[in-house]
Amino acid sequence: MQLGSTYLIVKDMKTSLDYYEQLLEVKASSRNIKRWAEFHVGHNCIALFNPQFDIDMIKKGDDLDICYNKEYLQFKENTLLKYGNNVVLNFGVPDLRAEYERIKALNISPISEIMYINIVVPYYCFMLEDPDGNLIEITGKYK
């Protein structure tokens, strides 16, 4: 089994799309601006998913049999939607100080100081949150 992508549940697709394009310095490789966007970063994929798109479409009742099966509709009916702080994305960079200064200058979200952690392997990192409160940890070489 291989990881296909990590989905982030987002409230405001445009805000999240803008945020991640600035943070990752790449445009989404595929997207449906109201429901889905995908970023290929290294060997992995991060996808932004707006579940409200499906909820709104189901409420309208248009083309349900074309877009969803009854099992999906049942799943959506019985699942509580939650946003934020349910995933931590970890990104590695070659120069932690330079990336810290770049992201700080973007002013896209609050950013922690550079922190040191030594539990299994010693490393330095800093943290920030995306517009939905998902944590992002940036690690890399630091002097």
Of 58, 78, 98, the residue at which a domain comes to its end is: 78
Q: Does residue 1 form part of some domain?
A: no
Q: Quote the CA–CA distance of 138 and 81 in Å, as a whole number.
A: 27
Q: Phi and psi of 57, rounded to 5°? A: -65, -40
Question: Do the Cβ atoms of 60 and 53 come closer than 8 Å?
Answer: no
Record the pTM.
Answer: 0.84
* Three-state secondary structure call for residue 51: helix
Q: Rounded distance, CA 77 to CA 55, Å?
A: 9
Place of tokens 């999906």: 72
**For position 44, what pLDDT does the model report?**
87
Boundaries of domain holding 47: 6-78
Those residues of the chain that have pLDDT short of 70 are 1-2
The total domain count for the chain is: 2
As a whole number of angstroms, the distance between CA 109 and CA 130 comes to 7
What integer pLDDT is reported at residue 101 of this predicted model? 97
Among 78, 102, 127, residue at a domain's last position: 78
SS3 category, 47: strand
> For 84, left (φ over 0), alpha (ψ -120 to 50), or beta?
left
Domain boundary (54, 78, 102) is at: 78
What is residue 1's predicted lDDT score, i.e. its pLDDT? 62
CATH number of residue 109's parent domain:
3.10.180.10
